[in-house]
Amino acid sequence: MGLQQNDLAAALRITQSAYSRLESGDIVLSLTQLRIAAAVFQTPASAILDSADQYANFLQMQGVQITDEKKDNSAAVLIGLGLLAAVMALGASSQ
């Protein structure tokens, strides 16, 4: 869709710096932000969540421990990157 970090950050009403922290897994996406991102990419929020679940399962099969606690954010970074890739792929396939 040709979007840059600034574009999505503006849609989510956050700074580019906050968006970068979101991508790196340092902060989490709110439900409202998920819905906004889904609208921007013209895909259901459920499709984004399904892709994130699939990617988390893939990572677990590769031996990456997925937890809800933020002790070591390496898994969160991988999930965040996977989620971003899924969102971008869904956006590209809807064009």
Per the document, the length of the chain is: 95
Domain residue ranges in the chain: 5-93
CA distances from residue 19 to 53, 65, 66 in whole angstroms, order as listed: 21, 24, 22
Residue 83: predicted pLDDT: 79
Structure confidence by residue, pLDDT tens digits, 37-86: 999 989 999 998 898 889 889 989 999 887 766 555 566 667 777 777 77
Give the pLDDT of residue 85.
77
Q: In the prediction, which pLDDT does 56 show?
A: 87
Residue among 20, 19, 51, 17 at smallest CA distance from 33: 19
> Given this model, what pLDDT does residue 61 score?
92
Residues ≥6 apart with Cβ < 8 Å to 94: 41, 42, 43
